[in-house]
Structure 1
Amino acid sequence: MNDTLTAPLTLERMRADVAGMLGEAPDAVGDDDHLMDLGLDSMRVLGLVLAWSNTGIALEFGHLAEHTTLAGWWQVVQQLQARASAGA
């Protein structure tokens, strides 16, 4: 199995994956940019959720749908990672 699939999800990986979905360089995606305004649609978000779920967190589409920025998504991921680490 590819180590990147099971490695903890990082903000840098999230930024790179979002940028890849948009055909942009990672530095074109700011923490507080509205991702839908950048061109991210629900199908692409679903693809990201599926890929990021392979890192061992219980990420669901609804978790990200409530937020519109990478910073908001990162907060959700950090909370899920903390729960997974605590065994909750």
Structure 2
Amino acid sequence: MSPWTNHSKNLGKGCTRAAKFATPPSEEYLIKIFNHFDTSGDGLLSREEIKSAYNLLGKSFAGLRTWWTLLVGDENSDGYIDQKEFIKLVKKNYLT
């Protein structure tokens, strides 16, 4: 199950975010997730790969989420999310 998937126990209880991890995922696990969505294999998540990931996860407003992800997560403003930026973004926004 993806860390961004709404868990059924939270549905209908006003939960708008994914449930917190019981234990934080390892960096190795986050790298596996990153590599899964890096379909080009270049070590970067492009705008298209990020949008595709949100669509695959069944998230609404994938375009808006993609824009926000790049706005918040692309620290060097190159238009891509690299592994370090991805890990930092996930830890900052989903694990705290």
| TM-score in terms of structure 1 length | 0.45
Higher strand share: 2
Per chain length, whose mean CA-contact separation is higher, i.e. which structure has more relative contact order (CA < 8 Å, sep 6+)?
A: 1
Q: Please say which structure displays the higher CA radius of gyration.
A: 2
| TM-score in terms of structure 2 length | 0.42
